């Protein structure tokens, strides 16, 4: 029987309607090689020997010392050559009339080239490579937040062409903006209101509830919990959140990064194996750079496989229809080894 579930943070509603899964449809999965693939593509901008085709690296990890922008790296971060934002002009709001408000698109965009291997899926990375990736997000967050005009730093990955990836080589992105995105601000306001009323962090309370209920847990280790949200917006939506209270991703210690790497590697592998390498998007929701959210906000990672298509109802109402029961999705992913 269909039911409606409310997101306790933002107040958004999701309709859980498994009957719609019976509608005729054609599966929509990327034709990316399941295992293997090409180690190197001489035409790829992100591969070895083509470092000169990208902007200069702003961060690089190497096993051995070497010259900048040359082969021998394990991970590189470069400025996005096709960025929609830059720092050429000052951020200044213009409102000639209250219906037309604009500003210069001030900000920064970077590409994280996750591995030298041309086609290796992130889910199949050695755990040490996952740790480098997560460490790179932290280091670039810290560096980009030094720019006074930057108020939010989005760290995200599009996996597969149907999820928005334009290049095959494994990569993710970091975009720093002069405004706090509405989705983040809605989470902050919801968490702030909950804290005002209950004197506790809503995310911490959610964690306690998931640990007691356990039906939606996908994976956990000592410091991190992965679960299917109660009001999941789409099939197999997966969150990963620290069990300890922390409002910002950049506060992770070296020890915590190792625990996060182990948990994130497990989540990615379960999604890859259990759903036949679906297109997906993941992103980190963290505190804005210039807001004090320490008491009530809680950073987390969200992964959303592209199993369904957002259509007229979702676009017209802001509500979601999920054709999979979150508890059953979690049970299935728990069983993937």
Residue 104: what pLDDT? Answer: 65
Residue 176: what pLDDT? Answer: 96
Residue 37: what pLDDT? Answer: 60
Q: Where in the chain is the domain with CATH 3.30.428.10?
A: 10-28+181-337, 33-179
3-state secondary structure of 233: coil
Where does 252-311 have alpha helices with state H?
254-274
Q: Was domain 10-28+181-337 assigned CATH 3.30.420.40?
A: no
Tokens coding 323? 């054709």
Q: Residue ranges of the chain with pLDDT lower than 50?
A: 20-36
Q: Which helix (H) or strand (E) holds 281?
A: strand 280-285
Please confirm, yes or no, whether 171 is among the known catalytic residues: yes
Q: Which helix (H) or strand (E) holds 138?
A: helix 127-144
Angle between helices 254-274 and 326-334 (to 10 degrees): 100
Selected catalytic residue, list 117, 169, 171, 298: 171
Residue 315: what pLDDT? Answer: 87
Span 33-179 CATH architecture: 2-Layer Sandwich (3.30)
What pTM does this model have? 0.92
User: What CA–CA distance (Å, rounded) separates 304 from 299?
Assistant: 17
Residue 34: what pLDDT? Answer: 38
């Amino acid at each position: 029987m269909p039911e409606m579930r409310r997101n306790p943070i933002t107040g958004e509603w999701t309709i859980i309607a498994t009957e719609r899964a019976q509608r005729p449809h054609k599966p929509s999965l990327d034709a990316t090689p399941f295992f293997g693939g090409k180690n190197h593509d001489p035409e790829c901008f992100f591969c070895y020997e083509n470092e000169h085709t990208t902007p200069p690296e702003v961060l690089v990890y190497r096993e051995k010392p070497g010259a900048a922008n040359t082969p021998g790296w394990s991970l590189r971060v470069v400025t996005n050559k096709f960025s929609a934002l830059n720092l050429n002009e000052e951020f200044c709001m213009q409102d000639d009339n209250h219906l037309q408000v604009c500003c210069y698109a001030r900000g920064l965009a970077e590409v994280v080239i996750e591995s030298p291997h041309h086609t290796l899926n992130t889910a199949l990375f050695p755990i040490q490579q996952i740790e480098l990736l997560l460490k790179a997000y932290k280091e670039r967050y810290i560096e980009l937040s030094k720019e006074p005009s930057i108020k939010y730093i989005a760290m995200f990955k599009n996996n597969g062409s149907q999820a928005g990836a334009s290049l095959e080589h494994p990569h993710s992105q970091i975009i720093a903006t002069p405004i706090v995105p509405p989705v983040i601000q809605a989470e902050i306001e919801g968490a702030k209101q909950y804290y005002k009323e209950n004197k506790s962090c809503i995310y911490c309370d959610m964690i306690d509830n998931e640990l007691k209920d356990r039906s939606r847990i996908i994976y956990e280790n000592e410091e991190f919990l992965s679960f299917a949200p109660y009001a999941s917006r789409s099939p197999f939506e997966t969150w990963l959140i620290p069990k300890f209270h922390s409002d910002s991703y950049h506060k992770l210690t070296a020890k915590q990064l190792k625990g996060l790497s182990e948990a994130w590697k497990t989540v990615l592998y379960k999604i890859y194996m259990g759903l036949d390498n679906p297109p997906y998007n993941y992103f980190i929701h963290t505190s804005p750079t210039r807001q004090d959210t320490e008491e009530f906000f809680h950073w987390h990672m969200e992964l959303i496989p592209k199993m369904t298509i957002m259509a007229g109802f979702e676009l017209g109402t802001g509500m979601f229809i999920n054709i999979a029961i979150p508890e059953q999705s979690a049970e299935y992913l728990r069983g993937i080894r």
